[in-house]
Amino acid sequence: MQEFGAEKILNAVSVCSPEDVAYAIIRGAALRQRSVYYPYFYARVVPAAYQFIPSLFEKHAATLYARD
């Protein structure tokens, strides 16, 4: 997996605890939300921003996957 840049991606992404995810799901159900995004920034904001500036995200992805 190292040849595909997975190590760089895994180092850049933070892991959420199962308790935090479960709490977000329960809170979403209690508030009758149609969708639950957790963590909100990575699950909702980043894909929405990609719609406006795809070249920035593609350039960043290219640097992550660049072979050393």
CA neighbours closer than 13 Å in the CB half-sphere of residue 24:
13
Q: What is the DSSP letter of 13?
A: S
pLDDT tens for 15-59 read 778 898 899 889 999 999 888 877 766 777 777 888 888 888 788
Which structure tokens are listed for 21? 């995810």
Question: Quick one: pLDDT at residue 23?
Answer: 92
- Residues in CB range of 3: below 8 A, 6 or more apart: 67
Quote the number of domains for the chain. 1
Domain that holds residue 8: 2-65
Angle at 51 between CA 49 and CA 57, to 5 degrees: 65
**Cβ 64 vs Cβ 12: under 8 Å:** yes
pTM summary value: 0.47
